[in-house]
Structure 1
Amino acid sequence: MSIAKVIEIVASSEKSFDDAVQQGLAESARSLRGISAIEVTNWTADVENNQIVRYKVTMHVAFQVEHSTSTH
């Protein structure tokens, strides 16, 4: 049986939406093991002087739940 847990994160980049997704995944991978999927649920951007200055994505990150094999 395989069980996954899903968390929601918000990531941003001054370069692009794609970079925001990549940054969010890279940062998530620093503290989560077994990431199996991501779903981008929202795309937004901060605008100043009619120019996009920051791209933001809201993502669901799915990762495998690890089961302990010890029998306490």
Structure 2
Amino acid sequence: MSMLKVIEVLAESDQSFEDAARVAVANASKTVRNIKSIYIKEMNATVDGDKIVKYRVNAKISFALD
């Protein structure tokens, strides 16, 4: 039986929520191995005038322990 650990991360993108999720996984994978899944806990955006300028996600990333 494998053991999983979960970390919570914040990430942002100028493009989309999907891209912010990709950024979260890419940054986490720099220091964490064996990433198995990402759960988007919360999404929010920063607006300037009438346009969204930043997409942000609060995500939980799970990974298998060695």
Confirm or deny that 1:21 pairs with 2:21. yes
- Deviating beyond 4 angstroms after TM superposition, the runs of 4 or more aligned structure 1 residues are none
Amino acid at match of 1:2: S
In 2, Cα distance between equivalents of 1:58 and 1:38? 10
Deviation at 1:65, TM superposition (A): 1.3
Cross-structure match for 1:32? 32
Distance in 1, matches of 2:8 and 2:65, equals: 16
Normalising to structure 2: TM-score of the pair? 0.95
The count of corresponding residues between Structure 1 and Structure 2 is 66
The TM-score, its normalising length taken from structure 1, stands at 0.88
- Structure 1: where are the runs of 5+ without partners? 67-72
Q: Which runs of 5+ in 2 are unaligned?
A: none
- Cα deviation for residue 2 of structure 1 reads 1.0
CA distance in 2 between partners of 1:24 and 1:38 (Å): 9
Superposition CA RMSD, Å: 0.7
| Amino acid across the alignment from 1:46 | T
